[in-house]
């Protein structure tokens, strides 16, 4: 799930959820709004750090204040706004889009977001290993297993592993233990970061390891793309795929920043 899909999935209860393809087509037809402010900065007010445009608090699409509990996140948000030139291009503002989604969507749908992350852990990519070739098997064991073992030690429970695409149902106790650690990630902003890290890496386990500083962002990203990188070594790089990966990396960096500040 991309940042753009996040709010449509976890929007206000009862709200219609637009077709993402139709929404994308409509967005392409709509002209980008002109930049209407001179300076973007940060104001501290009421215990929060507000993104300020010419001294006035910016607003989310739902008209909530664009304000967070972390100065580092607020400064990164303000930098995105300041970097806009003649027009405001949301595609170039992954952190703003994700924080908007957190404030307008996750804040009202926290239980659903946490439940989806736990469900994801029930079929996590790190639990499905290749049977061959030997080089890939060895690489998965060398890179995935330490991260998995670290999370198992953190939650005090074990995940079951499977080879290939055969489904391995995880023990209920393992998922309950995972959920208890997930509860420590605060909503809505850090939880939104957690959800996007999970979907961009394909792994709730890597997300929890990153959230608890058992691994760093570079390690998480490399582990998530282990299979892809192996295929690139064998078959070569595809330019369009590389461009898509670069976009996903910018979204990942935004999500990892939110998760780290939780």
Torsion, Cα 156 169 215 104, to 10 degrees, reads -100
Helix pair 189-201, 239-260: axis angle to 10 deg: 150
Q: What percent of the chain has pLDDT over 70?
A: 89
For every residue of 134-175, DSSP letters joined together read HHHHHHHHHHHHHHHHHHHHHHT-----EETT---PPPHHHH
Q: Residue 164 — pLDDT band, cuts 50, 70, 90?
A: confident
Q: What kind and span of H or E run contains 41?
A: strand 40-45
C-beta of residue 205 within 8 angstroms of C-beta of residue 182: no
C-beta of residue 229 within 8 angstroms of C-beta of residue 242: no
Has this prediction a pTM greater than 0.75? yes
- Rounded to an integer, the average pLDDT of 83-88 is 94
Q: Which residues contact 128 (CB under 8 A, 6 or more apart)?
A: 161, 162, 163, 164, 165, 168
Q: What does the mean pLDDT of the chain come to? A: 90
């Amino acid at each position: 799930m991309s940042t753009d899909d996040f709010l449509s999935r976890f929007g206000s209860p009862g709200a219609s959820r637009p077709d993402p393809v139709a929404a994308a087509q409509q967005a392409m037809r709509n002209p980008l709004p002109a930049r209407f402010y001179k300076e973007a900065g940060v104001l501290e007010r009421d215990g929060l750090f507000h993104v300020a445009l010419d001294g006035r608090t910016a607003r989310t699409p739902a008209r909530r204040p664009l304000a967070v509990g972390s100065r580092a996140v607020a400064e990164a948000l303000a930098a995105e706004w300041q970097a806009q030139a003649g027009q405001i291009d949301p595609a170039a503002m992954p952190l703003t889009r994700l924080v908007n989604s957190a404030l307008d969507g996750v804040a009202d749908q926290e239980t659903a977001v946490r439940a989806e992350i736990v469900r994801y852990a029930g079929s996590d990519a790190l639990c499905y290993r290749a049977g061959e070739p030997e080089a890939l098997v060895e690489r998965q064991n060398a890179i995935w297993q330490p991260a998995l073992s670290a999370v198992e030690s953190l939650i005090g429970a074990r995940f079951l592993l499977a080879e290939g695409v055969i489904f391995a149902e995880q023990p209920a106790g393992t998922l309950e233990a995972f959920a208890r650690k997930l509860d420590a990630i605060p909503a809505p902003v850090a939880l939104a970061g957690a959800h996007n890290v999970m979907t961009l890496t394909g792994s709730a386990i890597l997300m929890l390891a990153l959230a608890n500083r058992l691994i760093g962002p570079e390690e998480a990203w490399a582990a998530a793309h282990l299979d892809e990188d192996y295929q690139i070594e064998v078959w070569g790089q595809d330019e369009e795929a590389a461009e898509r990966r670069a976009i996903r990396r910018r979204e990942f960096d935004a999500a990892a920043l939110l998760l780290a500040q939780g």
